[in-house]
Structures are given as structure tokens and as C-alpha cells.
Chains A and B, each alone.
Chain A
């Protein structure tokens, strides 16, 4: 019983150590001098896509292109560029696809509008169905009342 507990703890420790190693291995670059810059670096490298391994962010990818792009983000930050300027820099080279959060443009506006439009359609349809049912029960009741009163 005791042994099992010990072993369990040991296994947990090992697992923790393993994942800590993994987490550190990918982006091994030293933190930026200014904590605020470091925060922006963190945010940007998590919202830019690794183009080679398309479902990973730059920060999570071990591909060498991702490392090159992280380096470029870092340099642009140090050069005093704003987040939007850095995003533009990447989009100019790799296209909108590099942004995990696509921006709204006229080409994809319909996509952004779709939920609202569908919601509107749903509301209209729902409203009409409910109104239809209400009229049905109304007429039923008046009919029943009428029959009840008649004799």
C-alpha cells in the first residue's frame, strides 16, 4: 500500500519532469528585456500560425521555419513595431492564413455576418410557427366554447 503510493508519486514526478522538458524545448530563446515586450511576444507567437504545421502556433512548433519567424517577431518588437505592424508584416508575406484570428474584410464579411443572419432567419421562422400555433389554439377554443354555449 505504502509502496504503491510512493511509486505513484514517483511516476507523477517523472511525468511532470517530462512535460516541463517538452515545454521548455520548443521556444528556448531568452525572454525579452522588457516584461511588457515579453508579454506581447508571447501573445503574438501564440496567435500566428506555423505555416508548415498548420494547426500549431509559432510558439508551439519545433520546425525551423517557426524558429525563424519567432526570431523575426522578436526583432520587430525590439525595433519598436506595434502588434498590428507585425501582423501586417507576416500577412504581407504569408497571407491572412497566418493569423489564427482572421480579420474582417469585405471578402469574408459574409462569414462574420452568417451567425447573425442565421439567428435572424431562425427567429423569424420561430415567430411564425409560434404565431401559427397560437391562432390554431385560439380557433379551437372559440370553437369549443361556441359548441358548449350553443345548446
Chain B
């Protein structure tokens, strides 16, 4: 009787370890970003819409923002586009686009055709800024706090579900009640500092 206890316990332990591994297998591809909790990487990129006003990381300061890395060559980006437009409609957080390794004409045509969810778009032609942000597969979306800290990263297409489950709670935790737009004094989240 007693001699079975230890092997059984060992077997149970192994079972638990393997089950946890199996359960967490789908998360395997969502690698944690080392940038979480750190300040967002500095960058200056050409502005897709206005050559004279480059987009810099200063534009992320002073308000919450959603940084979305995309490209017209990216199939998943097309899939998430409607969700981004919807987030823009709620107008709570400005979306800053980083157009990754793309042609400007293609990007402009894409936005003209599908609608533009972005407040501003920087064009990262050689992919250096994307590397600084640890991007390895578009689309990727980063939530940046008013202090300029990377709060959260989502890899893959943005959906309304992901936005409501993973992003909104993190914003509303500090914003207080985002559900009350009737207070104009603290309302303008987006256009605080138009640098």
C-alpha cells in the first residue's frame, strides 16, 4: 500500500505539469514584450500625410495612445482595420500608426479605400523603429500611458473583444470612469498636446 504512494504522487505531479503546459500551449506564440513597464522607445519617423511634420515619440506624451504597427502587405492588418475604425469612433484614445516596411503610395491608397483610423502615421521604411519596439509580426498594438510608458502589447489582429478585455480596463483604471463623457473639463484625452 505504502509503496504506491510516492510513485502515484510523482505521477500526479507530472500530470499537473503536463496539463498546465497543454492548457497554455496557445499562448506559446504570444511572447511577453520586455518593453512592458518601460518607457516607449524614442523615434522620429516621416509623417505619411505631411512631409514637413515628422512624427516623433513626443506625440505619445500627455495622453493615452494606441500604437499600431501595420503594413499594406499584412493580411491580418486588413482583418483588424474595422476594429481600429470602431475604436477611433469611440474617440477615447488616439491611434498612432507605424507603417512598417511599406510603400507610401500603397499606404495612402489603403487608407483612402478602407478609411483612416489613425490620428497620425509614421512611415518606417527600413524597419528600424519596429525593431526598437520589438515588433516581429504585424499587426501589433501597444498601449502607451500618458507618461509614455508601454502598458500592454497585443500581437495579432485587434478586435473589439481584445480592446474591451485587455485595453480598456487598463485605461479606465487610471482615467476613473470612462463611461461618463459628460465632464468636458477632463474629457480631451486625445488632443492634449499637439506637438
Contacts and interface: CB of A to CB of B under 8 A. Distances in A.
Interface centre among B29, B35, B128, B131 (most CB of A within 10 A): B131
B133 interface: yes
Interface in B121-169: 126-128, 131-134, 136-137
B31 A97 contact: yes
B32 interface: yes
Query: What DSSP secondary structure best describes chain B's contact surface?
Result: loop
Contacts, number: 37
Interface residues of B, number: 16
B33 interface: yes
A52 B134 CA distance: 11
B136 A92 contact: no
B101 interface: yes
A17 to B, nearest CB: 32
A93 B127 contact: no
B184 interface: no
Contacts of B126: 68
Interface residues of A, number: 15
A5 to B, nearest CB: 49
B131 A93 contact: yes
Contacts of A54: 29
B136 A95 contact: no
Contact of B131 (A69, A91, A95, A96): A69
Contact of B34 (A51, A64, A93): A93
B97 to A, nearest CB: 19
Interface of B: 29, 31-35, 101, 126-128, 131-134, 136-137
14 contacts: A64-B127, A65-B127, A65-B131, A65-B136, A68-B126, A68-B127, A91-B34, A92-B34, A94-B34, A94-B136, A95-B31, A95-B33, A95-B134, A96-B34
Given A52-B136, A91-B34, A93-B34, 7 more contacts: A51-B136, A65-B131, A68-B131, A92-B34, A93-B35, A93-B133, A96-B34
